[in-house]
Amino acid sequence: MGIHERWLDERRHEHYYKLAKKTGYRSRASFKIMQIDDRFNIFKKGNLVVDLGAFPGGWLQVVKNRIGDDGKVIGVDLKSIKPISGVETIRGDITDSSVIFELSKRLGKKVDVVLSDMAPNITGNYTVDHARSINLCTCVVDICDRILKKGGKMVMKAFMGDMFNSLKKKVEGRFQNVKVYSPDASRSTSSEVYIISKGFFDNKMVEVKPIIPSFEKRNEFAKKGDLV
Ligand SMILES: C[S@@+](CC[C@H](N)C(=O)[O-])C[C@H]1O[C@@H](n2cnc3c(N)ncnc32)[C@H](O)[C@@H]1O
């Protein structure tokens, strides 16, 4: 990328940052999910949605607006999310089975949409960051096998790299329609893309082992998890 493109990218980044401040959204990322939904029609009024890696809550604000009062969204993050009216949150690590157990319990039924804007802690080492991102994405796919309803949708962030194609194949094995998209609000310098998937085949395709966290594990989660 040349100096001019870098300058333009910086300007665009700043534009969305200022717009988020001005319009009351908690993050610049809000505009990414708006642009994704405007193009791919992800949300419907009354939908049940799970947002993995939801802190500080920019996507949650957008989703809540778009699914309306009859819809419900639950956000999960390692960090505690300040309350948003009409939105439920869980503080926990999505790679921890007791957190997924708690999430499923709270949902009570399968969901229409699974979202993930998760990113690992960036080390600056491209190979490490890519591998960690793919690992998180693989967990998201596993969570879809557990909680996404037949015909459901998934939007998931991934960092590009040599393991990306095998991740995409895994997703293609589960959904009718899979697209890779980079919204305008993403930085062009970033390696992030979003995998947009529709038409979940449901989990008959794969063997899903039930999660039965030990009594100690459930207790541990009850102590550390924020149930807002
Ligand atoms: C880019 S931020 C999400 C921004 C959010 N979509 C918004 O609009 O405000 C990525 C989040 O993923 C979370 N995250 C990373 N790994 C996670 C994990 N294993 N479990 C839960 N959350 C995780 C991070 O804590 C971070 O808050």
Between the CA of 133 and the centroid of ligand 1 the distance, in Å, is 11
Question: For residue range 54-111, what is the model confidence (pLDDT) as tens digits?
Answer: 999 999 999 999 999 999 999 999 999 999 999 999 999 999 999 999 999 999 999 9
Task: Write out the residue range of the structural domain in which residue 209 sits.
Answer: 3-224
pTM for the whole structure: 0.90
Question: For residue range 96-119, what is the model confidence (pLDDT) as tens digits?
Answer: 999 999 999 999 999 999 999 999
Please indicate whether residue 157 is annotated as part of the active site.
Answer: yes
Handedness of CA 192, 197, 200, 206 (dihedral sign): negative
Ligand 1 pocket mutation pick from 32, 66, 117 by most atoms within 8 angstroms of CB: 117
Give the pLDDT score at 228.
Answer: 37
Between the CA of 75 and the centroid of ligand 1 the distance, in Å, is 10
Asked if residue 227 has pLDDT above 50, the reply is: no
**Sequence-distant contacts of 102-106: CB under 8 A, at least 24 apart:** 102/218, 102/221, 102/225, 102/227, 103/50, 103/74, 103/76, 103/147, 104/146, 104/147, 104/211, 106/74
Is 140 within 8 Å of 154 (Cβ atoms)? yes
Asked if residue 159 has pLDDT above 70, the reply is: yes
CATH number at residue 140: 3.40.50.150
Domains identified in the chain, total number:
1
